[in-house]
Amino acid sequence: MTPPRLLIVDDQPDNLDVLVTFLAESNLQLAIATSGEEALELAAEMPPQLVLLDVMMPGINGFETCKRLKQLPGCQQLPVIFLSALSDPDSRVKGFAAGGIDYISKPLHRQEVLARIQAQLTIQQQQQELQRRNQQLEELNRELQQQIDRRQRAEAELTLSQTTLSALTQQEARRWGLDAFVGQSSRILALLEQLRNLQQAPDTNVLVLGESGTGKELVSRAIHYGSQRSDKPFIAVNCAAIPAELADAEFFGHSKGAYTGAVSDRIGYFEQANGGTLFLDEIGDMPLTLQTKLLRVLEDGLVTPIGSQRQKRVDVRVVAATNVNLLQRVQQQQFRQDLYYRLTGYRLELPALRQRSSDIALLTQHFIEQLSQQMRRAAPRISQQALDALSRYHFPGNVRELRNMIEFALIACRDQCIDLPQLHFAEPLDASLPEPAATTVATSPAVIPPTPLNPVSNDEQQLLAYVRQHGRIDNTSAQQLLQVDHSRASYLLKKLYKEGQLQKQGERRWSYYQLPE
């Protein structure tokens, strides 16, 4: 470290010699001035750390020199020790008033001079050290305040995020909650009661059975968003849409480099749904090999990503859905019996729309209002004739088909009353039901009833006759026409396709058949 710089100011050479001799062995840089004016010049060039200042000098005296020294840049806190033969109280008071910090009377004594110098240098060092530590504390305080500010911002953002998440969850709860099930029939009221019970059992796996379009995913979301798991993920998976070769990676994940194309780690469906609900739609189409692995996860709650040796524990409620007869699949050894019972902690059967026809009017009005709002138009009226026709229709596509029909009608009616011409029936009206009684509503154009199917001798001829009349047929329509299950309808349609009598369009659940061109 650079030695402290000491400025000695005295107009007497003898006094200067004495002081220099006193300080010869001290670790100090000495600067000498013989007048107050010279002292000011030296201090302006290089401020000292301490000044020994004689009082009685020609020109400006020590008191005035001290005052002017304190006015120089960087010298406001400069310690000044006066040296004087004047030892009376008045002279001392004048010295302290001028800015001096100590006063040594002449004749000078070596030990006293050294002690007074050392005391002031020590005080100065302590002040500098205190100042340095204060600066460190101020810097630490600034850093701490910055951390507090960052944390407060993070907490504010987290609060906002949680508020947003809560609002989204509430929106989802309203969207998928029990109030979304429109109807007053005994079947729908019984279903609502079962849903309320399931919402109070958040760890019970559920098997949802029902025809296509009855709202199996809607029911599954209601089970999730009404339960204690509502703030955790709801992951929906269509089992029929997953290629068999990718099923393991999709469900259980994989680690980077596990196989060609695995360029990064992947989180599987079970981990994505951890803490929440995994909805497995069309569970009946799951391959047997994957069924075995699914059963193991349901039993021990552990998943092992492909290429990894580390097992991960997951807490997932599984809600599975299908429109096929799973017990029949079990008997045909196409579905594992133990998996069936593991999934069926509770079995929920959804009624077809034709089984709760008293709800059709309420659902129709609900869809008119909902879709009109989405289209940003006023909700039109629907005629009694149109409502009666809807009540007589058997709805092979169930609630989904009704919604699509209303959407079509809203576009076709051009903000006018929805009447029979705007209803697009995919199949003939059920002729076994009686015509509705006459009403007092305004008359609508007459509707030509559909041509009934000619009697046929077997199932295949009925299917071909249906396609000739309607232009197309899918598995659901075939089941309704022949009153058979999914497997039988699929077999007959594929047989006619292989024989070249029908042409297939689309894949899996979206497939349908037409006559060859």
Label residues 482-512 b or e (16+ Cβ within 10 Å = b). Answer: beeebbebbebbeebeeeeebeeeeeebeeb
How many domains would you assign to the chain? Answer: 4
Question: What predicted TM-score, i.e. pTM, was given to this entire model?
Answer: 0.53
DSSP codes joined into one string, 133-162: HHHHHHHHHHHHHHHHHHHHHHHHHHHHHH
Kindly state whether residues 183 and 320 are assigned to the same domain: yes
Which residue, of 351, 368, 385, is where some domain finishes?
351
Q: Assess if residue 168 is contained within a domain.
A: no
CATH code at position 344: 3.40.50.300
In 200-240, which ranges are continuous DSSP H helix?
Answer: 216-225
- Check whether residue 187 and residue 299 sit in a common domain: yes
Same domain flag for 271 and 338: yes
Helix then strand then coil, in percent of the chain rounded to 5, is 50, 10, 35
In 311-441, where does DSSP find H-type helix?
Answer: 326-331, 337-343, 360-375, 384-392, 398-412
Same domain, yes or no, for 475 and 418?
A: no
Q: What is the DSSP letter of 257?
A: T
CATH number of the domain encompassing residue 26? 3.40.50.2300
Please indicate, yes or no, if residue 245 is contained in any of the structural domains.
yes
* Same domain membership, residue 337 and residue 217: yes
- Residue 33 tokens read as 């001035």
As a whole number of angstroms, the distance between CA 469 and CA 473 comes to 10
In which region does residue 419 sit, left (phi positive, over 0), alpha (psi from -120 to 50) or beta (all else)? beta
425 assigned to some structural domain: yes
Tokens of 161: 């995020």
Q: Which domain holds residue 336?
A: 177-351
| Distances in whole angstroms, Cα of residue 111 to Cα of each of 23, 104, 121, 162 | 10, 12, 15, 74
Quick one: 316 exposed, middle or buried, by C-beta within 10 A (0-12, 13-18, 19+)? buried
Domain co-membership, 347 together with 374: no
Q: Which domain-ending residue is among 351, 377, 407?
A: 351
The answer to whether the bond into 396 is cis (omega within 30° of 0) is no
Our measurement of the distance from residue 403's CA atom to the centroid of its chain's CA atoms, rounded to an integer in Å, reads: 31
Same domain for 118 and 10, yes or no, is yes
In a domain, 164, yes or no: no
3-state secondary structure of 218: helix
Q: Is residue 254 within 8 Å of residue 266, measured between CB atoms?
A: yes
Residue 135 within any structural domain of the chain? no
Q: How many CA atoms lie within 13 A of 25 on its CB side?
A: 4
CB 355 within 8 Å of CB 397: no
Residues 367 and 312 reside in one and the same domain:
no
Do residues 204 and 345 touch, judged by C-beta distance below 8 A? yes
Task: Give me the CATH number covering residue 481.
Answer: 1.10.10
pLDDT tens, per residue, the chain with 517 residues: 688 889 999 888 888 888 888 888 888 888 899 998 999 999 998 889 899 988 889 889 989 999 999 899 888 888 999 988 877 888 888 888 988 888 888 888 888 888 888 888 888 888 888 888 888 888 888 888 888 888 877 776 666 555 554 454 556 555 656 556 788 888 888 888 898 899 899 999 999 999 988 889 889 999 998 899 988 999 999 988 888 777 888 888 887 766 666 667 788 899 999 999 999 999 998 888 889 989 999 999 999 888 887 888 999 999 999 999 999 999 999 999 999 999 999 999 999 999 998 899 999 998 999 899 988 889 999 999 999 999 989 898 899 899 999 999 998 888 889 998 889 887 776 544 444 433 333 333 333 233 333 335 478 888 998 898 888 898 888 888 888 777 778 878 888 888 888 988 877 666 888 988 7
**Distance, CA of 33 to CA of 37 (rounded, Å):** 9
Indicate if 475 and 398 belong to the same structural domain.
no
Q: CATH code at 433?
A: 1.10.8.60
Question: Do 288 and 364 fall into the same domain?
Answer: no
Q: What is each CA distance from 154 to 119, 146, 157, 350, in whole angstroms?
A: 51, 12, 5, 46
- Angle of helix 62-69 versus helix 36-45 axis, rounded to 10: 20
Q: What is the DSSP string of 392-419?
A: H---TTHHHHHHHHHHHHHHHTTTS-B-
Q: Say if 56 falls within a structural domain.
A: yes
Extract the tokens encoding 424. 């697009």
In a domain, 136, yes or no: no
Quote the CA–CA distance of 479 and 514 in Å, as a whole number: 16
Q: How far is CA 163 from the centre of its chain?
A: 11
- DSSP secondary structure of 7-70: EEE-S-HHHHHHHHHHTTTSS-EEEEESSHHHHHHHHHHS--SEEEEESS-SSS-HHHHHHHHT
Asked if 281 and 424 sit in the same domain, the reply is: no
Cβ atoms of residues 382 and 364 within 8 Å: yes
Polymer length of the chain? 517
**The domain boundary residue, chosen from 334, 351, 368:** 351
Residue 347 sits in the same domain as residue 361: no
Assess contact for 11 and 58: CB atoms under 8 A.
yes
Has residue 89 been placed in a domain? Answer: yes
